[in-house]
Amino acid sequence: MPKIKTAKPSRMSTAKSSAKLKSKSRSVGGLPALDEILDLPDELELARGPLLRVKFQANSNEDSDDEDPLELPQTRDELKRLYKPFPKLEIYDDNGDAMFDGPIQVLDYVHIRAGEVAGQLVEDSEQWYGQITYIGARHVPKKKGQKGKTEKEEEPDQPDVCLRVAWFYDHGMLSQRTLLPDDRRSCSNMIPGELIFSDHYDTVHLSSVLGRVDIRFFNEISTTQVPIAPGELFYRRAIFRDRVVSQHTAKTQCTAKCKLPYKPDRDIQHFCQRISCRRWFHTSCLEPNPQAKNRSEDWMIDYELPPEEQQLVDIVSSRSKPNKKVSKFGNSSETEGEVEVEETTSLQRRLALVRQLPPQVRNLATSAITRGIDSGQGIVGGAYTILQARWLARKVVIEGGTLTREEEEDSVE
């Protein structure tokens, strides 16, 4: 979002939104972690109280021609001083039906009607999204001598409602911020539907809200991430003090030589499930570099891509200790045959258990864990699904357990 902009109220409302200014963030030493920024430590107001119900007055223009439009609070302190906080807001129409598919509450993501940026209308060219951090309402007394309706037509006075929101930026809005060249380049991999959470807070009038939206946080280092379909709204970075903060650090990047972030629409990455690794690698970074002088450094990665034909028993056995019988005689000829027979029997038993697994579990467990739109496993990747299948396979093949009915049904889904 630009630093100064004016949201456009609904055509059915008379409240005018004034210019909005960027709020100051908490003073901290250096850049905080991404999680700390997303927690909204300064702005968040989880109010306690009853549900606020407000009627959306479609014909309020006719009743307020003689009234001066209310000015929006310019600062957070002014908003808190004038507007009582509420945890939830339910908006209903003339028929008493709830709008926006139910109540809106603090922490919800909302779609805001785009208005003006530096005096120019951008309603047709920009989509504005924000996260609610405060819901406030106040009752405005009517002026003396104001003509009212008859008793039959008179309705309860509706409070004036304002919201405090933290804005999201899309790639086209980044030009409005002063970013370092490296930070700007790091955002070049944004795809349609991707947003950036920002430290830009504003007050908007209820009449500017178009509805609630779903915006997912993409945790790039999590193996339990909810899938994100192409075109869905999501974010994985934040802007704090004109710096871009993300999870792409030296500890999470592909290799020491690869400084490139993940580009979902261009890259295919493979996941290493080893506890000591847990990283995503670009396909090209896994290939040996014949030009490298020292082949023992970054290019000699202890990493295995499980191919489709790799035996499932090898995959699920990778974390188990070899089941060998240790003899007090050491490596004598008397014990070598005993160990060999035991290993053969164990392998045959495990292979037999593999054949008893549901086909869906067997196919998933032997699949490579990848991510990328062209990989076939989506933006987030198939880490969660495939690792779950491998856990089920390990339960049967290594631990000798059986799958419950719920586990079998989940594997089919």
Residue 20 belongs to domain with CATH number: 2.30.30.490
Among 204, 219, 245, which residue terminates a domain? 245
Residue 291 included in any domain = no
Per-residue pLDDT for 265 more than 80? Answer: yes
- Give yes or no: residues 220 and 353 share one domain: no
- Give yes or no: residues 225 and 358 share one domain: no
Residue 272 included in any domain = no
pLDDT of 273 = 83
Alpha-carbon distance of 115 to 132, in angstroms, equals 18
- Give yes or no: residues 401 and 329 share one domain: yes
Alpha-carbon distance of 299 to 301, in angstroms, equals 6
Residue 325 included in any domain = yes
Give, in degrees to the nearest 5, the angle at Cα 391 between 388 and 395. 145
Residue 130 included in any domain = yes
Residue 142 included in any domain = yes
pLDDT of 297 = 44
Among 193, 218, 245, which residue terminates a domain? 245
Per-residue pLDDT for 253 more than 50? Answer: yes
Q: What is the mean pLDDT of the chain?
A: 75
Range in 13-22, 129-138, 251-260 the model is least confident about: 13-22
Cα–Cα nearest to 201, from 238, 157, 237, 156: 238
Q: List the domain range (segments joined by +) for residue 122.
A: 5-245
pLDDT of 152 = 45
36-74 residue pLDDT tens: 777 765 556 665 678 888 887 544 444 445 556 678 898
pLDDT of 39 = 72
Residue 136 has what DSSP assignment?
E
pLDDT of 380 = 94
307 — phi, psi (to 5°)? Answer: -70, 165
Here the contacts of 145-153 (C-beta below 8 Å, separation 24 or greater) are 146/66, 146/67
How large is the angle between the packed helices 383-397 and 405-412, nearest 10 degrees? 140
Question: Mean pLDDT throughout 284-301?
Answer: 58
Per-residue pLDDT for 327 more than 80? Answer: no
3-class secondary-structure state, position 363: helix
Residue 297 included in any domain = no
Asked if residues 283 and 268 have their Cβ atoms less than 8 Å apart, the reply is: yes
Q: What percent of the chain has pLDDT over 90?
A: 25
Alpha-carbon distance of 398 to 353, in angstroms, equals 9
332-346 residue pLDDT tens: 444 444 445 555 567
Range in 9-13, 177-181, 342-346, 371-375 the model is least confident about: 9-13
Give, in degrees to the nearest 5, the angle at Cα 112 between 108 and 118. 135
Alpha-carbon distance of 376 to 380, in angstroms, equals 11
pLDDT of 198 = 92
358: which residues sit within 8 A by CB, 6+ positions away?
403, 408, 411, 412
Confidence of residue 26 (pLDDT cuts 50, 70, 90): very low
Residue 296 included in any domain = no
Confidence of residue 102 (pLDDT cuts 50, 70, 90): confident
384 — phi, psi (to 5°)? Answer: -65, -50
Alpha-carbon distance of 3 to 279, in angstroms, equals 37
Which residue type, as a one-letter code, is found at position 279? R
pLDDT of 153 = 52
3-class secondary-structure state, position 161: strand
β 5-6/116-117 pair status: antiparallel
- Give yes or no: residues 225 and 148 share one domain: yes
170-209 residue pLDDT tens: 998 888 888 888 888 888 889 999 999 999 999 999 988 9
Per-residue pLDDT for 106 more than 80? Answer: yes
pLDDT of 254 = 82
pLDDT of 228 = 93
Question: Mean pLDDT throughout 298-316?
Answer: 47
- Give yes or no: residues 322 and 239 share one domain: no
Per-residue pLDDT for 276 more than 90? Answer: no
Residue 101 included in any domain = yes
Among 196, 221, 245, which residue terminates a domain? 245
125-168 residue pLDDT tens: 789 999 999 999 998 776 655 555 554 455 667 889 999 999 99
62: which residues sit within 8 A by CB, 6+ positions away?
none
pLDDT of 340 = 54
pLDDT of 303 = 45
- Give yes or no: residues 238 and 313 share one domain: no
pLDDT of 56 = 73
- Give yes or no: residues 320 and 201 share one domain: no
Per-residue pLDDT for 229 more than 70? Answer: yes
